[in-house]
């Protein structure tokens, strides 16, 4: 683990490790959200995104390989906090709101992941790492698509209340 960053490369490596941790945390959270959700459609959505998340982890591992780095996880306190908040809100919510809360929790994580990938892509472009940029953009595209699906689902639940 880095205690101090001296180069853009060190910062990129740390953020890459944090992104790996972020996706591992998200995978766990998606399982918990699927279990908590009442709607079979929502459960299927979380299951589908868990499959995409596994691919995103593979892409991040490929980025590490491309750069000759070990795939070390760096803690992602943000995703851990978002997951904890989502779980707490689900426990505090009536059955009629659980699906809405689960969607909001997933959406918060998606937006954090989008920001993380945008920062990694900008750094990789600056380093001239075309293959790395392609892998990161693939992850970003999936996150953006999932975000759009979740926003539509959030609107649907808001109208039902």
The CATH code of the domain that includes 52 is 1.20.1260.10
| The pLDDT value given to residue 118 | 99
pLDDT at position 74: 84
User: Interior CA angle at 74 toward 137 and 116, to 5°?
Assistant: 30
Total structural domains within the chain: 1
- Is 98:36 a contact under the CB 8 Å cutoff? yes
Give dist(CA 65, CA 53) in Å, integer.
Answer: 18
Q: What share of the chain is helix, strand, coil (3-state, %, to 5)?
A: 85, 0, 15
- pLDDT at residue 1 is higher than 60: no
Q: Look at residue 72 in the predicted model and tell me its pLDDT.
A: 80
Mean pLDDT of the 132-158 span: 97
> Whole-model pTM?
0.94
When pLDDT is averaged across residues 18-38 and rounded to a whole number, the result is 96
In a domain, 139, yes or no: yes
| Residue 3 confidence (pLDDT) | 80
Question: Over the stretch 36-90, which tens digit does the pLDDT of each residue have?
Answer: 999 999 999 999 999 999 999 999 999 999 999 987 888 889 999 999 999 999 9
Residue 125: its pLDDT value, please?
98
| SS3 (DSSP) at 72 | coil
Closest CA to 105 of 150, 47, 52: 150
Q: Domain residues for 135?
A: 8-69+76-160
């Amino acid at each position: 683990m880095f205690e101090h960053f001296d180069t853009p490369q060190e910062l990129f490596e740390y953020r890459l490790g944090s992104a790996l941790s972020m996706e591992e945390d998200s995978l766990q959270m998606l399982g918990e959200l699927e279990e908590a959700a009442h709607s079979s459609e929502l459960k299927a959505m979380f299951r589908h995104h868990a499959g995409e998340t596994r691919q995103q982890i593979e892409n991040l591992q490929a980025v590490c390989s491309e750069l000759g780095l070990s795939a070390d996880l760096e803690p992602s306190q943000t995703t851990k906090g978002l997951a904890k908040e989502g779980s707490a809100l689900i426990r505090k919510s009536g059955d009629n709101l659980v699906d809405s809360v689960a969607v909001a929790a997933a959406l918060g994580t998606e937006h954090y992941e989008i920001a993380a990938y945008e920062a990694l892509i900008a750094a990789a472009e600056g380093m001239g790492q075309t293959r790395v940029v392609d892998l990161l953009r693939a992850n970003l595209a999936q996150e953006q698509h999932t975000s759009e699906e979740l926003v539509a689902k959030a609107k649907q639940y808001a109208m039902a209340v």
